[in-house]
Structure 1
């Protein structure tokens, strides 16, 4: 299992062409993937959502995780508040509750 973990860490450092996703390759014969954020183990063939809302899949080839929360760009005096318990977000005014906020999301 130790060599699987080392392999996961090394390959997780290599970004793929999709900046919002990454893949960690598994050693042949591995039966589980380890979520690099939560340190939880998941069997090959499973899918899960980790504590930062990343959507992950474990296959015989490796683990793929993609950002489950969009990148949100706001206008005006607004801010984005992410809720990682529900994997949702709100765009709210920083000071004046009557100022409308406009948001554009990229990603998911």
Structure 2
């Protein structure tokens, strides 16, 4: 029994590491009718239909279902980058690792978390 409990806790810890940069919002309730709103409202107040997906301005990929909206970061957090390297995020949420010493210098992180 203890082995099964340890296995379950280990799997749960792994799941949280895989989705460490995600957040979820609960469904919105209409204040007048008290009924759930048929969709999810983003940070800018736009209502997205159930089943839809979108990217927000902070480069999070979001999806909407009857349980609420889930948004996960599309840009990894890098660890062990040389100090001369920086992450450059483009308007389309693509990103590059750029070395300020010049294009001939590599930017190789030791690890990354998405």
Q: What TM-score results when the alignment is normalised by the length of structure 2?
A: 0.65
Q: Does 1:49 align with 2:55?
A: yes
Structure whose alpha-carbon radius of gyration is higher: 2
Alignment of 1:22 with 2:28, yes or no, is no
Q: What is aligned with 1:64?
A: 70
CA distance in 2 between counterparts of 1:67 and 1:86 reads 13
Q: What is the CA–CA distance in structure 1 between the aligned matches of 2:95 and 2:103, rounded to whole Å? A: 17
Q: Which has the higher strand share?
A: 1
Structure 1's unaligned 5+ residue stretches are 1-16
Greater share of helix: 2
* RMSD (Å) for aligned C-alpha atoms: 2.0
1:79 to 86, 107, 111: 86
* CA–CA distance in structure 2, aligned partners of residues 79 and 29 of structure 1: 43
Q: 1:106 maps to which residue?
A: 113
Q: Is the 8 A contact 1:30 1:60 kept in 2?
A: no
Q: Structure 2: which 5+ runs fail to align? A: 1-15, 30-34
Structure 1 CA distance for aligned equivalents of residues 94 and 108 of structure 2: 17
Separation in 2 of the partners of 1:67 and 1:60? 21
